[in-house]
Amino acid sequence: MDQDKVFRKKYGSFRRFFRMLWKAPLPILWILVYIGVSFALTHVGVSATEYSARLFAGDVDAVSVVIPFLLVTLLSLLIGSASGLVNGICRAFINRNLRRMVWRKAVRLPLFFYESNEPKQLISRVTTDTTVISQLTMQVFVPLITMGYSTFVLLRKVSSYDSALMWSLFAVIPLNVLISFILGRLHFGVSDRVNRATAELTAGIAERANQTLLIKTMGTEEKECKQGEVLMEQSFAAGKTSVLLNQLSGPVHAIAGALQVVVIILVGRGFYSAGRISLAEWIAYYGFATQLANTITGYLNDWTSFKSAQGATDRVAQVVDTPDENTREGVPVTTLSGGIRLEDVCFSYGEAPLFEHLDLEIPAGKITALVGPSGSGKSTVLNLIDRLYPLREGRITVGADDTARFTLASYRRALGYVTQECVMYAGTLRENLTQGIERSVTDEDLDRACEGAGILDFVRMQPEGYDLAVGEGGASLSGGQRQRFTVARALLRQPDYLLLDEATAAMDIEGKDLVWTSIRQRMAGKTVVFVAHDAQTVRNADYIIVLRDGKAEAAGDRDTMLASNPYCLEMMEQTGKEAG
């Protein structure tokens, strides 16, 4: 067992936990109903115990004891069922609110978060961890109120028999507190280890399930089987430790419970022998004392659950506390016009800088190509223009406007960005094409966009048309088809500016020509910026910028650059060799 992972030194904070619940928020009305029902159940339980004690003492009068005992027992069952129902409803509300809060936060987090955290582990954050927190709320913090009230009522009742008798009930509480404290520390570390192992297993299996084609083509089935088994073994080891600890907890609490019973019986017998309480009161005292001891022990066990849940609280809080992109701060974009300028831009993904005081200008109303060696920052320039990453220094302007002054949501809606990944959802073609478009889109609009991307014939061949399901990530489509549909989606947005990151790399020569002809027609007079590595695609540019080592090495009109720039000449030569 890894002692450092079990005996965790860093614990979650109450402040962090309650801040999350405040943001969620809690279903206050339902929780108040649950508390009220629990209070009622306490009083009914007291009456049931007293009637039961009179029966054991020999008082079997039907009218004054037997019938009231049966009615109170029935009422206790009904209220107990209602309490369980309301408790379940409260948990469901808390689960929903927490999941909604975490999901809303997750979709607004910057890309930096996903580059330093495994995105697939968000599945566990949204599902498993939020469930643990809701259970914690309804098992530990809300019951703190009901347990306090129940303890007060029971102590007051026992005190009515003999005030000295009440103090005997506190004899074994310190032992329970000590046991729960030790087991709580153990449960926190073990539970956190189990949850992390489960999240890593979920993420690992999900990633490999999405890369089946790569596994098959590379012949790495055995290797992936072993890597999956390693994750499963880690999850198994964590689960085994958890089982051992749970099995240890049971006997320890049972011994403590047995000590409670012995103390309760001996104390009650002493008071009865001294004539200070009646037989019925001794029996009732035993019932109340057992009930109180079980309540406190049960709550301390649930407090152990709190220690177990602190790991879940920490992981969810990591998501909630991460600063997100404020998509509404700034002024809305009405129209964008003018060239794009990067002024004194400094940016890095890690410690090593990619851009140090980068200056470049993209002319308005032209098609500009960004070319350069791999790693020179071509795709990053597009990402920075789209404000996917914050700048360390400098600014980016469109016309006379600093892009930072615009709301992110409206600014990005003004741009069309086709990324290298050609992202598609597991929905229909219509849902994918209209993603992010707020206006009403007709089939005629879809036809024009798809025709411009050279994919309309494919759509018309499908019996479902635009209602064709494309599978997860567009798995039922080829790479070239996915690129065409993502280009069509960008054109459908009718953007002021179009950014293309190797958007036609998977298309054949005829397809590239068709798409670029459509882009020239639909984006006439507008600004297009694209990244490319081959001369055929670069020839579609009006203006070329060469990036190298994080600097704009050269820039100029297409013909001049292709005829004189060393990198462009080398690219032309290499493309010619590949074509030959």
Residues 221 and 368 in one domain: no
The pLDDT score that the predictor gives to residue 155 is: 84
- Percentage, residues of the chain above pLDDT 90: 27
The pLDDT score that the predictor gives to residue 395 is: 94
The pLDDT score that the predictor gives to residue 5 is: 41
pLDDT, tens digit (0-9, with 9 covering 90-100), for 42-70: 999 889 888 888 888 888 888 888 998 89
> Which of 303-317, 428-442, 552-566 has the least mean pLDDT?
303-317
Residue 441: inside a domain, yes or no?
no
Higher-pLDDT residue of 542 and 426 is 542
pTM above threshold 0.95: no
The pLDDT score that the predictor gives to residue 175 is: 66
The pLDDT score that the predictor gives to residue 214 is: 67
Residue 487: inside a domain, yes or no?
no
- DSSP run (H or E) holding 394: strand 393-398
Number of domains in the chain: 2
Residue 85: inside a domain, yes or no?
yes
Q: Which domain holds residue 577?
A: 329-414+527-580
Question: At which of 321, 338, 356 does a domain end?
Answer: 321
Residue 9 has pLDDT above 50, yes or no: no
The pLDDT score that the predictor gives to residue 437 is: 83
Residue 540: inside a domain, yes or no?
yes
Residue 343: inside a domain, yes or no?
yes
Residue 173 has pLDDT above 70, yes or no: no
Q: Give, in degrees to the nearest 5, the angle at Cα 106 between 101 and 109.
A: 125
Can you give the CATH number for the domain in which 214 is found?
A: 1.20.1560.10
Residue 10 has pLDDT above 60, yes or no: no
> Which of 118-132, 161-175, 285-299, 528-542 has the least mean pLDDT?
161-175
Q: Note whether 375 and 551 are within 8 A (CB).
A: no
CB-CB neighbours of 568 under 10 Å: 22
The pLDDT score that the predictor gives to residue 211 is: 72
CB-CB neighbours of 84 under 10 Å: 12
Residues 389 and 113: their CA atoms lie apart, in Å, by 11
Residues 77 and 135 in one domain: yes
> Which of 119-123, 287-291, 474-478 has the least mean pLDDT?
119-123
Residues 346 and 395 in one domain: yes
The pLDDT score that the predictor gives to residue 36 is: 95
The pLDDT score that the predictor gives to residue 287 is: 83
Q: What is the mean pLDDT of residues 505-514?
A: 82
Q: What is the mean pLDDT of residues 324-340?
A: 86
Q: What is the mean pLDDT of residues 511-525?
A: 87
Q: Per-residue DSSP letters for 78-139?
A: HHHHHHHHHHHHHHHHHHHHHHHHHHHHHHHS-HHHHHHS-GGGHHHIIIIIHHHHHHHIII
- Percentage, residues of the chain above pLDDT 70: 89
First-to-last CA distance in the chain? 62
Residues 296 and 340 in one domain: no
| pLDDT, averaged across the chain | 83
Residues contacting 123, CB < 8 A, separation 6+: 199, 202, 203, 206
Can you give the CATH number for the domain in which 559 is found?
A: 3.40.50.300
The pLDDT score that the predictor gives to residue 172 is: 55
Residues 313 and 337 in one domain: no
Question: At which of 321, 337, 366 does a domain end?
Answer: 321
**Residue of 521, 520, 458, 462 lying closest to 484 (CA atoms):** 458
Dihedral class, residue 308 (left if φ above 0, else alpha if ψ from -120 to 50, else beta): alpha
Residues 215 and 91 in one domain: yes
Residue 484: inside a domain, yes or no?
no
| Residue 186, both tokens | 């153990």
Residues 126 and 206 in one domain: yes
Residues contacting 322, CB < 8 A, separation 6+: 105, 109, 113
The pLDDT score that the predictor gives to residue 445 is: 92
Residues 195 and 299 in one domain: yes
**Residue of 191, 189, 227, 184 lying closest to 208 (CA atoms):** 227
The pLDDT score that the predictor gives to residue 11 is: 43
Label residue 536 by pLDDT band (50, 70, 90): confident
Residues 271 and 365 in one domain: no
Residue 545: inside a domain, yes or no?
yes
The pLDDT score that the predictor gives to residue 512 is: 84
The pLDDT score that the predictor gives to residue 18 is: 76
Question: At which of 288, 321, 354 does a domain end?
Answer: 321
The pLDDT score that the predictor gives to residue 184 is: 63
Residue 476: inside a domain, yes or no?
no
Residues 335 and 301 in one domain: no
pLDDT, tens digit (0-9, with 9 covering 90-100), for 413-461: 889 898 887 788 888 999 999 988 888 889 999 999 999 888 999 999 9
* E strands present in 122-182: none
Residues 7 and 75 in one domain: yes
The pLDDT score that the predictor gives to residue 1 is: 38
The pLDDT score that the predictor gives to residue 382 is: 94
Sign of torsion over alpha carbons 319, 325, 326, 328: negative
Label residue 409 by pLDDT band (50, 70, 90): confident
Residues 246 and 181 in one domain: yes
Label residue 12 by pLDDT band (50, 70, 90): very low
Q: What is the mean pLDDT of residues 235-244?
A: 82
- DSSP run (H or E) holding 498: strand 497-501
- Strand 527-531 versus strand 415-418 pairing type: unpaired
The pLDDT score that the predictor gives to residue 444 is: 93
Helices 443-452 and 509-522: crossing angle, nearest 10°? 120
